[in-house]
């Protein structure tokens, strides 16, 4: 087979390389803004009816039928212990369906999540001391600095649950 030479793109000298952008879906937990990369999000919807499941951790609110897929619904405020005392789960909430390697989860949030685009260079690695030492993988991807002074805590949803928590998800078995 003959090799084909691929032409090298011509760059103009003196032109700055455009900043790499990242798109986040931003939502509020407690009193802080959190974000996940848009490529990890399958969809955002009003939280469907949730059926409680026995013997699941308290932060797993149950399962829901989301367009034919049965998914576990997680309450991240409870998982991270961010819910202010006396603040109940609202009657109307939203679910962000996120995809990991071998499962789909629904993250229950209070407000409609919003898209946000920013340069990747504005996301700094999360300091080691803010990482959850009880998990093997670090699910905090970084801290996004906003121009007006705020921050968005960026999560890596693929690393949010430990392998044993994944196995305890409703619908998961030892063979899956």
Mean pLDDT of all residues in 14-26: 85
| pLDDT tens profile 118-148 | 999 999 988 766 665 555 557 888 999 998 8
pLDDT tops 60 at residue 102: yes
Q: What is the pLDDT of residue 176?
A: 43
| CA distances, 167 to each of 98, 137, 176 (Å) | 17, 16, 8
> Band of the pLDDT at 170, cuts 50, 70, 90?
low
Give the C-alpha separation, 74 to 113, whole Å.
15
pLDDT score of 110: 87
What's the predicted TM-score (pTM) here?
A: 0.77
- Tell me how far apart the alpha carbons of residues 171 and 101 are, in angstroms, rounded to a whole number: 15
Highest mean pLDDT among 1-5, 138-142, 162-166: 138-142
- Across 75-84, average pLDDT: 85
Q: What does the pLDDT average to over 27-32?
A: 89
pLDDT tier at 162, thresholds 50, 70, 90: confident
pLDDT of residue 79: 86
């Amino acid at each position: 087979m003959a090799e084909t030479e691929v032409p090298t793109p011509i760059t103009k000298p003196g032109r700055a390389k455009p900043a790499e952008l990242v798109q986040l879906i931003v939502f509020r937990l407690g009193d802080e803004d959190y974000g996940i990369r848009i490529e990890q999000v399958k969809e955002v919807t009003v939280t469907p009816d949730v059926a409680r499941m026995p013997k699941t951790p308290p932060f797993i609110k149950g399962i829901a039928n989301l367009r034919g897929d049965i998914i576990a619904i997680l309450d991240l405020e409870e998982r991270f212990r961010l819910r202010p005392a006396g603040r109940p789960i609202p009657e109307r909430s939203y679910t962000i369906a996120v995809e990991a390697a071998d499962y789909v989860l629904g993250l229950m949030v209070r407000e409609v999540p919003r898209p946000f685009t920013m340069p990747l260079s504005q996301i700094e690695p999360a300091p080691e001391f803010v990482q959850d030492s009880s998990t093997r993988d670090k699910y905090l991807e970084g801290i996004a600095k906003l121009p007006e002074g705020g921050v968005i805590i960026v999560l890596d949803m693929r690393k949010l649950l430990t392998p044993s928590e994944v196995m305890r998800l409703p619908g998961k078995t030892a063979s899956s």
